Amino acid sequence: MSSISPTENLLSGLSDRQREAVTHTDGPLLIVAGPGSGKTRVMAHRVAYLVGEKGIPPWKILAVTFTNKAARELRERCERLVGGGSNELQVRTFHGFCSRVLRSDGEHVGLKPEFTIYDADDQARVARRILDQFDIDPKQFPPRALLSVISDAKNNMRSPAQLSRRTETYRDEVAARVYEAYEGALQRANAVDFDDLLLKTFQLLEGYPEMLEKYQGRFEHLLVDEFQDTNALQFQVARLLALKSQNICVVGDPDQSIYSWRHAEPSNLTDFQSTFKNTKIVTLDQSYRSTQIILEAADSVIGNNDGRMEKNLWTENSRGTRITVAEAYNEEEEARLVLEAAKELKNKDGITRNEVAIMYRVNAQSRAFEVACNREGIPYRLVGGVKFYDRKEVKDILSFLRLISNPADDAALERIINVPARGLSARTVTELREVAVSNKVPVLDVILDVMRVNMGDEEPRAYHVDLATRALKSVTAFGDLITRFIEQSLALDTNELIDLIVERSGYGAMLREDKERGEERMENLQELKASAEQFAGSEERGQLTEFLENVALVSDVDGLQGGDDSEVEEEAITLITLHQAKGLEYDAVFLVGLEEGMLPHSRSVDDPTQLEEERRLLYVGMTRARKRLYMFRAFQRRFRGQSGSQMASRFLLEIPDTLVTNRDIRGHDRVADRMPDPMWTKRSASTPAPRPATRSAGDAFDAGDKVRHKAFGEGVVVSSSGTGADTQVTVAFSGQGVKRLMLSYAPLEKIVEEESAQQFDPDEEQIEVQDPDLFAP
């Protein structure tokens, strides 16, 4: 027997199933991979196997993921396994890959290499201008809604003409008209939106046989991660690329499909088998991540979804600790309890902060945790959140850069043409835009034309612009500013260019005058500069394009988190949305905000399909946990300033009691026990009126009633408002002042003559609501 070959080494740590997935290299392969089943590991090993064993050159392998995070992780794993030459491996997000293709071959579909990628903001700006132009009332046809119709059309590969042919409602008609104008605007701006990246790549591959051949020949092996989240266009692009070689390996888990709102079509998973004949299917159902209890709980939740491809997830891991389900009074207490428990985890179980994640449905929920962490001095890592590149000042400077890189970028131009104010009023801008639109040229062309003549050029103006002398002067000055920027950009690194822009555009001066936030904003610009520095050194024009592309497509910049002053590389707790948490794992996971309306989200409760997606979202969250899982709900939550209370999430009831610990964190009752109690229900049309939520006889509190409170002693009811569990009672306590109390929670008791004193449950948590207004002078 010879010594172990590298291949044996590569395969030795894998299970039989995993090995099967790694070594089936010829022909289509579908891997159904449950959470924690070593999916990324298999993909990385597969790549290494292709390179090391099958002798495939790394650059002939394309691995496509959904998020940048996933791409980064997969790339790192591959590099570790493959070693040298792996940097030529193509690991990209779908959008990143398509952008790359279009930068080099986009001219077939009308794109110049420096095309700009429009974000939602730019799209809305374009849409608003079009509505304005067509004299359509934006209140009647919100830009967002129209853009959503356009996005649908693009994802179904329908052109404006095709859309207008199948209009059914007036709204569709309007949308079709706007779509056409929108396409024109983007075309003129040499810009694409996110859908276009995919659509135009598809069109390129579909309509140009030489292009198809080029890319089919370029990539012999294709791997697609998170296949359940791919949309129709992505599937088509993948299909075309792999049509010839048939060497396509897709990995997915239908139970983790959480992007239908972004046109994901989990049915791609089944369609795959009909598209690619002789597909081999490998199911990975052993979890190497979670404890048995966590898996069972997750399984019992997801089991409530209909029509699933059943998977029997199993593990050799230990049974583990029961899941803690607990409730807090409001989001502040929720945050406090979570942090308390996290501290305890560190002391008792040795689970460090790096191994703890708090996951929530919507970004806004992070706030309470940020506040609590800051107060407790606990470092945290906020994933996503307020995106750095979304800050106003950053976007403004980026718009200058965009305009320099792509002078046709009207959205960028309109953003900064009068920032800081330089005498270009809305009227002037409208005039310039109208001239540009009717001549089908970029706005900057018109500006430069005005400037040329105004600066003494003999040739008459190419465009007729109706502007006052003062406005002409301002337009000229702006044109001159941008022209100089463009000239100088040729010799400067992007970070140097940023300096130049900040100083010469007047932006820096504007910030220095802003006493309130100027300094902070300037710091953000310094940070922008720092992020541009990574691109410095390479050929100037290319680096600017590359930097801007990175900004547009890579939103989760590492080391550039928006979190206030979270120390770098310190042991920190992770705050993350459930969507972003997919693919990650932590020793301990806190799922918070498990209330009706939150998870499931209120926008999803009416639609069974969407409800199932919410359930999958929870499933994703639960299965991120290795050892410990906590699930929290708050009785009351502030929502856009106002607070309201909601029932516990229906999903909590789907977890069997046997998997949940009774011993919760701080003596709260288990939500599961409380649930059927109408005391916890919010009164609404669909729920029966709850019985009065008092500890005493059950009758209402009226002004003048004498009451007793466990902590505040005796008092007199001043007023009461609301009904049922929502009842708030204002009470004047002797010596304690006036308090407003939430009846359903406060241990408040009416003093009746014959009643004996001690009626309280000594274990009952007492919580008060104080309305600060009542203390105002």
Partner DNA sequence: GCGTCCTACCTTTTT
Partner DNA sequence: GGTAGGACGC
Residues that bind DNA (CB under 7 A): 66-69, 93-96, 119-120, 124-125, 128, 138-139, 194, 258, 261-262, 361-364, 384, 392, 418, 421-425, 427-428, 468, 470-471, 474, 553, 555-556, 577, 579-580, 601-604, 610, 639-641
Question: Which CB, 467 or 716, lies closer to DNA?
Answer: 467
> Looking at the DSSP assignment, which residues form a beta bridge with residue 740?
730
Catalytic: 570?
no
Q: How many CB atoms lie within 10 A of CB 528?
A: 26
Question: Which CB, 66 or 276, lies closer to DNA?
Answer: 66
What are the distances in angstroms from CA 689 to CA 645, 682, 684, 685, 743?
A: 15, 9, 8, 9, 15
Q: Is 698 annotated for ligand binding?
A: no
Directed axis angle between helix 68-82 and helix 39-52, to 10°?
40
Closest distance of CB 315 from DNA, Å: 28
Q: Is 656 annotated for ligand binding?
A: no
Question: Which CB, 470 or 484, lies closer to DNA?
Answer: 470
DSSP-assigned letters across all residues of 717-731: EEEEES-GGG-EEEE
Closest distance of CB 600 from DNA, Å: 9
Structure tokens at 618: 């929870």
Closest distance of CB 717 from DNA, Å: 29
- How far apart, in whole angstroms, are the C-alpha atoms of residue 63 and residue 303? 31
Structure tokens at 429: 């801008």
Would the CA dihedral through 417, 418, 423, 428 be positive or negative?
positive
Closest distance of CB 519 from DNA, Å: 16
What are the distances in angstroms from CA 342 to CA 187, 346, 530, 632?
A: 52, 6, 34, 13
Closest distance of CB 132 from DNA, Å: 8
Contact yes or no for 284/32 (Cβ under 8 A): yes
Closest distance of CB 697 from DNA, Å: 38
Catalytic: 409?
no
Buried b (16+ CB within 10 A) or exposed e, 156-182: eebbbeebbeeeeeeebebbbbbbbbb
Q: Is 24 exposed, middle or buried (0-12, 13-18, 19+ CB in 10 A)?
A: middle
Closest distance of CB 100 from DNA, Å: 12
Pick the catalytic residue: 73, 193, 226, 414? 226
First to last CA, the chain: 90
Pick the catalytic residue: 177, 615, 616, 624? 624
Catalytic: 624?
yes
Contact yes or no for 118/200 (Cβ under 8 A): no
Q: Is 39 annotated for ligand binding?
A: yes
Q: Is 577 annotated for ligand binding?
A: no
Q: In a 3-state reduction of DSSP, which class is residue 634? A: strand
Tokens 């994901």 — which residue? 264
Pick the catalytic residue: 225, 299, 332, 540? 225
Closest distance of CB 640 from DNA, Å: 4
Structure tokens at 551: 């900004």
> Looking at the DSSP assignment, which residues form a beta bridge with residue 730?
719, 740
Closest distance of CB 95 from DNA, Å: 3
Q: Is 33 annotated for ligand binding?
A: yes
Q: Characterize the bridge pairing of strands 737-742 and 748-750.
A: unpaired
Catalytic: 256?
yes
CA angle 51, 52, 53 (to 5 degrees): 100
Count H helices and E strands in the chain, helices first: 28, 23
Buried b (16+ CB within 10 A) or exposed e, 669-706: ebbbebbeebbbbbbeeeeeebebbbbbeeeebeeebe
Pick the catalytic residue: 40, 286, 324, 646? 40
Question: Which CB, 21 or 70, lies closer to DNA?
Answer: 70
Pick the catalytic residue: 19, 39, 381, 628? 39
Closest distance of CB 8 from DNA, Å: 37
Closest distance of CB 267 from DNA, Å: 19
Q: Is 35 annotated for ligand binding?
A: yes
Question: Which CB, 354 or 610, lies closer to DNA?
Answer: 610
Closest distance of CB 602 from DNA, Å: 7
Q: Which residues contact 168 (CB under 8 A, 6 or more apart)?
A: none
- How far apart, in whole angstroms, are the C-alpha atoms of residue 293 and residue 284? 19
Contact yes or no for 592/365 (Cβ under 8 A): yes
- Phi then psi dihedrals of residue 62, to 5 deg: -120, 120
Catalytic: 494?
no
- How far apart, in whole angstroms, are the C-alpha atoms of residue 591 and residue 649? 12
> Looking at the DSSP assignment, which residues form a beta bridge with residue 715?
707, 733
- How far apart, in whole angstroms, are the C-alpha atoms of residue 644 and residue 675? 17
Q: How many CB atoms lie within 10 A of CB 438?
A: 10
Q: Which residues contact 279 (CB under 8 A, 6 or more apart)?
A: 27, 28, 29, 30, 272, 273
- Collect contacts of 205-209 with beta carbons under 8 A, ≥24 apart: 205/237, 205/240, 205/241, 206/236, 206/240, 207/108, 207/109, 208/108
Q: Characterize the bridge pairing of strands 728-733 and 737-742.
A: antiparallel
Catalytic: 244?
no
Provide the annotated binding site for ATP.
33-40
Active site amino acids: 39-40, 225-226, 256, 624
